[in-house]
């Protein structure tokens, strides 16, 4: 990878890590509020933060959207270039993409910081932020598309020079991820450009919140896979190498990524099971497809664990489970990702519960849901990204990782924190505590005393996670600026266990998979969207309720 390309990726990581840090500042404050300790009044008095919900909006946007997207666009650039051994085809496009994302972020940050956009990261209409908040979000997403275009152009160039060759898993999976992002973000683009922006500018008389929600969740669920697939890229394509193993089944790894492309988008109604305006048949059809997307996840579970087992046995592990302690737990990159996988397994089970149609009635919009997604995007993804950074920062800077033992301790601290936090939040949800709510205040108003112990554990877990975050920041900052020892690090690339390796043509051909993606989207959304648009109710004016 060229020095200029490393610089490009490095800048992505700088913005991502700053966003993660700033967004995470609110986490312990939210937990403490639940436990009855108010940190907001002094901040209000100082004029720094107007409300819990302004803080929650910043927490969601910075951690779920900005940290993830900047990390992912930078990481996929690194993976594609290294995997194809081809420089970026149009470096100016990648830099322009980065610049566009930063501009979008800055434009959206202004109303967020001025308490004009305390609408949380879902910005459900008819709550209304100023038009330029939504414009900032659109510009940000367009920037992320441009990174995708740059990577696709690079892949096409490689393809032209390597006729008949199958692209390596790492590169193909990266391109699948950016293509998925192009397809699925059409929903939120339509929501903002066709509904929200004209409504904020008084061109439309009102807004239909059910239709807006439907476009939002068209993007909202595949967004989850946009976060997750880069973690899977590392688990499938890098981790086996890092633990001294091999990728157990290379063809099934290709298959899993293709299935994620096809099945990630036509499932959005599983976020709208309890919406009044979506007919049951469509909810049921999306439930079926959501169960479908569980299949590649199960393929992944087997394949990744089998690959790790090969490594553990190569290191001398014996017996059914004896290979597990033989994995290189002392390597912080490995430890972080193994712990991320373990926590994520529970996130997957919880996700199946959420997705189970009428079972959703038990948990919908309760504290269970943030409990769930801190095990998925908050750990399965975030702790994996931290683990990746433990080799990526040395790779980019040429400096040896500072204090690897602290980094290992960081991963364990995060995992312990999230287990405490998420267990408590799941319990609160089952007790009926709502999500996105000042639970400390709600307990005083109507909540049950049974909630109290779990709110204290929520605060405890959140604080432990924040301590782990500070440890993470210390390790990466010290590595980048203080580490003296120079190192040459390579991107880990897993080899296939099966030799000779044969990837059949149907696993390297885009046409059937792209066609299936488009057909499934049209079938699962087409008829109901036509019906909803034909009966559109542009009635709601904008509200500012914060």
Partner 1 sequence: MIHVDTYEKWWIAISVAVVAIFFATITISSAAMGYQLPYSAQLVNPNTVATTGTFAEPGLRELAPGKYEAVIRAGAKPWVFTPNELKVPVGSQVTFIVTSQDVQHGFLVENTNVNAMLLPGRVTTLTHTFNTPGTYHYLCTEYCGLGHQYMFGTITVE
3 scored as a contact of partner 1 (CB under 8 A):
no
Going by C-alpha positions, the residue among 20, 126, 56, 52 that lies closest to residue 370 is 56
CB 304 within 8 A of CB 341: yes
509 scored as a contact of partner 1 (CB under 8 A):
no
Annotated active-site residue in 435, 466, 472, 525? 435
Backbone phi, psi, residue 486, to 5°: -90, 145
288 scored as a contact of partner 1 (CB under 8 A):
yes
Q: Which helix H or strand E contains 148, and what residues bound it? A: helix 131-161
Question: Could you give the angle at the alpha carbon of 135 between the alpha carbons of 133 and 136, nearest 5°?
Answer: 65
Minimum Å gap between C-beta 532 and partner 1 is 11
450 scored as a contact of partner 1 (CB under 8 A):
no
Minimum Å gap between C-beta 298 and partner 1 is 4
Q: Which helix H or strand E contains 367, and what residues bound it? A: none
Question: Could you give the angle at the alpha carbon of 382 between the alpha carbons of 108 and 343, nearest 5°?
Answer: 140
Residues 200-219 that bind partner 1 (CB under 8 A): 208-210, 213
Minimum Å gap between C-beta 170 and partner 1 is 19
In this structure, what token pair is assigned to residue 307?
């690959």
Give how far Cα 464 sits from Cα of 24, 269, 338, 421, 540, Å. Answer: 12, 35, 19, 9, 42
Binding-site member from 39, 306, 314, 409 for partner 1 (CB under 8 A): 306
Maximum Cα–Cα distance across the chain: 70
Residues 259-278 that bind partner 1 (CB under 8 A): 272-278
Give how far Cα 496 sits from Cα of 1, 291, 324, 341, Å. Answer: 23, 29, 20, 21
The number of angstroms, rounded, from the C-alpha of 108 to the middle of its chain's C-alpha atoms is: 19
Residues 128-187 that bind partner 1 (CB under 8 A): none
- Comparison of 270 and 399: residue with beta carbon closer to partner 1: 270
- Comparison of 162 and 358: residue with beta carbon closer to partner 1: 358
Binding-site member from 25, 43, 362, 409 for partner 1 (CB under 8 A): 362
364 scored as a contact of partner 1 (CB under 8 A):
yes
Binding mask 455-484 for partner 1 (x = CB under 8 A): ------------------------------
Minimum Å gap between C-beta 274 and partner 1 is 4
Minimum Å gap between C-beta 283 and partner 1 is 6
Number of residues that bind partner 1 (CB under 8 A): 71
Binding-site member from 159, 313, 400, 436 for partner 1 (CB under 8 A): 436
* Region of 64-72, 162-170, 285-293, 330-338 interacting with partner 1 (CB under 8 A): 285-293
Establish whether 364 is a catalytic residue.
Answer: no
Establish whether 435 is a catalytic residue.
Answer: yes
Annotated active-site residue in 90, 436, 452, 497? 436
115 scored as a contact of partner 1 (CB under 8 A):
no
SS3 207: strand
In whole angstroms, give the CA distance from residue 172 to residue 304.
18
Annotated active-site residue in 134, 216, 218, 225? 225
In whole angstroms, give the CA distance from residue 398 to residue 94.
22
Minimum Å gap between C-beta 134 and partner 1 is 16
Residues 384-423 that bind partner 1 (CB under 8 A): none
Annotated active-site residue in 34, 59, 221, 286? 221
Task: Please give the full DSSP string across 3-69, using - where no structure is assigned.
Answer: HHHHHHHHHHHHHHHHHHHHHHTHHHHHHHHHTT---HHHHHHTTS---HHHHHHHHHIIIIIIIHH
Backbone phi, psi, residue 540, to 5°: -80, 125
Going by C-alpha positions, the residue among 426, 433, 439, 431 that lies closest to residue 371 is 426
Minimum Å gap between C-beta 148 and partner 1 is 28
Establish whether 372 is a catalytic residue.
Answer: yes
Minimum Å gap between C-beta 546 and partner 1 is 5
302 scored as a contact of partner 1 (CB under 8 A):
yes
Establish whether 34 is a catalytic residue.
Answer: no
Annotated active-site residue in 286, 372, 426, 427? 372
In whole angstroms, give the CA distance from residue 95 to residue 97.
5
- Comparison of 194 and 352: residue with beta carbon closer to partner 1: 352
Binding-site member from 120, 238, 259, 465 for partner 1 (CB under 8 A): 120
Establish whether 225 is a catalytic residue.
Answer: yes
In whole angstroms, give the CA distance from residue 243 to residue 497.
14
Binding-site member from 179, 287, 457, 476 for partner 1 (CB under 8 A): 287
Going by C-alpha positions, the residue among 174, 304, 300 that lies closest to residue 245 is 304
In whole angstroms, give the CA distance from residue 336 to residue 415.
8
Binding-site member from 248, 257, 260, 466 for partner 1 (CB under 8 A): 248
246 scored as a contact of partner 1 (CB under 8 A):
no
The dihedral over CA atoms of 370, 373, 379, 382, expressed in degrees to the nearest 10, equals -100
Binding-site member from 437, 458, 460, 524 for partner 1 (CB under 8 A): 437
Residues annotated as part of the active site:
221, 225, 372-374, 435-436
């Amino acid at each position: 990878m060229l020095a200029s390309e490393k610089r490009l990726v490095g800048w992505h990581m700088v913005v991502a890590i700053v966003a993660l840090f700033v967004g995470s500042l609110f986490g312990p404050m939210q937990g403490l509020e639940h436990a009855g300790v108010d940190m907001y009044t002094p901040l209000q008095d100082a004029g720094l933060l107007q409300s819990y919900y302004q803080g929650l909006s910043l927490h969601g946007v910075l951690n779920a959207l900005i940290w993830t997207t900047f990390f992912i666009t930078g990481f996929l650039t690194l993976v594609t270039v290294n995997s194809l051994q081809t420089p970026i085809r149009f470096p100016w496009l990648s830099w322009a993409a980065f610049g566009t994302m930063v501009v979008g972020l800055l434009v959206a940050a202004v109303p967020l910081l001025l308490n004009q956009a305390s609408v949380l990261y879902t910005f459900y209409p008819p709550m209304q932020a100023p038009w330029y908040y939504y414009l900032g979000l659109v510009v940000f997403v367009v920037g992320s598309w441009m990174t995708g275009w740059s990577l696709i152009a690079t892949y096409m160039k490689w393809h032209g020079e390597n006729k008949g060759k199958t692209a390596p898993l790492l590169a193909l999976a990266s391109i699948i991820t950016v293509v998925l992002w192009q397809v699925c973000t059409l929903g939120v683009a339509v929501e903002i450009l066709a509904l929200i922006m004209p409504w904020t500018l008084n061109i439309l008389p009102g807004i239909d919140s059910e239709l807006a929600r439907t476009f939002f969740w068209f993007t909202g669920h595949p967004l989850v896979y946009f976060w997750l697939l880069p973690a899977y890229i590392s688990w499938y394509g890098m981790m086996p190498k890092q633990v001294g193993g091999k990728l157990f089944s290379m063809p099934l790894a290709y298959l899993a990524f293709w299935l994620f492309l096809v099945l990630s988008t036509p499932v959005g109604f599983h976020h709208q099971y309890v919406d009044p305006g979506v007919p049951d048949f469509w909810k049921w059809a999306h439930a079926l497809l959501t169960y479908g997307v569980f299949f590649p996840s199960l393929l992944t579970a087997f394949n990744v664990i089998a690959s790790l087992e090969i490594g553990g046995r190569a290191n001398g592990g014996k017996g059914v489970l004896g290979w597990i302690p033989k994995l290189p737990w002392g390597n912080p990159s490995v430890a972080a990702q193994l712990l991320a996988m373990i926590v994520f397994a529970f996130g997957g089970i919880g996700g199946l519960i959420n997705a189970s149609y009428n079972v959703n009635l038990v948990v919908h919009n309760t504290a269970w849901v943030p409990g769930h997604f801190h095990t998925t995007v908050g750990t399965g993804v975030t702790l994996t990204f931290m683990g990746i950074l433990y080799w990526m920062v040395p790779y980019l800077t040429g400096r040896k990782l500072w204090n690897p033992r602290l980094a290992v301790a960081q991963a364990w601290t995060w995992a312990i924190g999230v287990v405490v936090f998420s267990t408590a939040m799941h319990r609160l949800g089952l007790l009926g505590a709502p999500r996105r709510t000042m639970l400390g205040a709600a307990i005083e108003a109507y909540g049950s005393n049974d909630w109290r112990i779990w709110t204290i554990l929520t605060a405890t877990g959140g604080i432990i996670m924040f301590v782990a975050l500070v440890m993470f920041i210390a390790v990466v900052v010290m590595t980048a600026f203080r580490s003296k020892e120079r190192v040459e690090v390579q991107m880990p690339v897993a080899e296939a266990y099966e030799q000779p390796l044969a990837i059949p043509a149907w696993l390297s051909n885009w046409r059937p998979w792209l066609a299936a993606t488009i057909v499934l989207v049209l079938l699962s959304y087409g008829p109901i969207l036509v019906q909803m648009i034909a009966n559109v109710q542009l009635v709601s004016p904008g509200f500012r309720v914060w």
